[in-house]
Structure 1
């Protein structure tokens, strides 16, 4: 299990959007470090498959079907985890979607859909998680932000706005949660080659009238120091560090992992 085996031994973690991509990578890493992991996802079949894969490698995991935009589903999901495992130590608001459109052509419905998953979903998870954490003496709230929590790109206004808002929510949790032993931080990755990003490449190529290779080289990775995508493993390593960090010295922070795309 490596040199850092067991850094989350005995901890209970719930991750939304954990059936695939970055969320799955974090779930698997947490489990390898000894956490009991609740794999929460809208796709119940994929959540079950991810939880089963974690158990097959010796980890402890349960699947939770959760539409993060559904207040009752989030409440019931968190309650199920607390009932099963006796508490909640780490909650990670990771669920997200993307929509590509210029602002003047963006429908209100698509604006609201993106905001609902990222921001409403993060709020609902935060509220339920804080109730559990406050009752048990503390915990860690984590959020999946983006370099777009700190700067903007064209064609992604609802995503950029939502990711900026998550930074504000994270900071609010850090201020309010401190008295209850709760820390809060937000991870801000650059482009990670996930299905969400793969879907954007042809969309942006069409919208911008350039090739897919040019989207990758001249749009997505233009401002990195080495022209490389951030990896799921990079993000999972940071997510582990933030979950295992021992004190409130590190709270309310945005931690960027982007190959130098954003420095701040």
Structure 2
């Protein structure tokens, strides 16, 4: 098991779901978990509870599409703890609609959260990581970083884009001992996915149960959802790897939905 004793990790979108699970595991492994979330009250509540698992956490209000909020939030973390060791870019949304009917404002909103957010938080953290000559960036991609599904044009586009960003960060960061990798989960039964089930059912004219078994999980080897714990384990493996042997890579965690 990798230990993160005294290390500081910023996890965006960490008040719930996958981000919350990553923050909890980071704390259990000895790190200071920073819960950066649009909902500051939810972030504070999560930080209070995560504080029972490990070292002192921190809650930060952060709209990842707001440059000033990102810069100020990251600076406040560095001021409090004196370092930033890990960034997990996890904040994201989903909007389901056929491409021919997709509103441009929704396209821009989704890409901004996933891609602008990843760029802004990465840029803000890199100056601290470069200064201390160490750090790890982990992007939460998706099986949709590798292949497409109907009704998800901007999401698939954004998740593919994270792999490109990761590779650039890996190349530019190497001389500063900063690594970047992507974890690509299959369907995880978070509130984000729960919301999609009836939406896809309505778009496709099928039942919720058919969406789960015939759309979401039909290509897995066992018909099982990926868990938040599965994702957290993969993230912390990347975050804790000791050198540049593992950088610029993506790892799919999907019960065999996508194999490479």
Q: Shorter-chain TM-score: what band?
A: over 0.9
Once the two structures are superposed, the pairs formed by residues 1-264 of structure 1 within 5 Å of their partners are: 4=1, 7-264=3-260
Cα deviation, residue 59, structure 1: 3.5
Cα deviation, residue 170, structure 1: 0.5
Cα deviation, residue 240, structure 1: 1.4
Decide whether the 8 Å contact of 2:4 with 2:29 is kept in 1: yes
Cα deviation, residue 58, structure 1: 3.9
| RMSD over aligned Cα atoms | 0.8
SS in 2 for 1:60: coil
Runs of 4+ in 1 over 3 A off after TM superposition: none
SS in 2 for 1:56: coil
Cα deviation, residue 56, structure 1: 2.6
Quote the Cα distance in structure 2 between the aligned partners of 1:135 and 1:221.
Answer: 44
Quote the Cα distance in structure 1 between the aligned partners of 2:222 and 2:182.
Answer: 24
Quote the Cα distance in structure 2 between the aligned partners of 1:194 and 1:219.
Answer: 17
Which consecutive residues of structure 1, in runs of 5 or more, have no partner in the other structure? none
Cα deviation, residue 37, structure 1: 1.0
Q: Deviations over 1:108-162 (max 9, x none)?
A: 1000000010000000001011111111112001100000000000000000000
Quote the Cα distance in structure 1 between the aligned partners of 2:147 and 2:66.
Answer: 29
Cα deviation, residue 13, structure 1: 0.4
Number of aligned pairs? Answer: 260
Cα deviation, residue 60, structure 1: 1.9
Q: TM-score, normalised by structure 1?
A: 0.97
SS in 1 for 2:180: strand
Which consecutive residues of structure 2, in runs of 5 or more, have no partner in the other structure? none
Q: TM-score, normalised by structure 2?
A: 0.99
Decide whether the 8 Å contact of 2:187 with 2:216 is kept in 1: yes
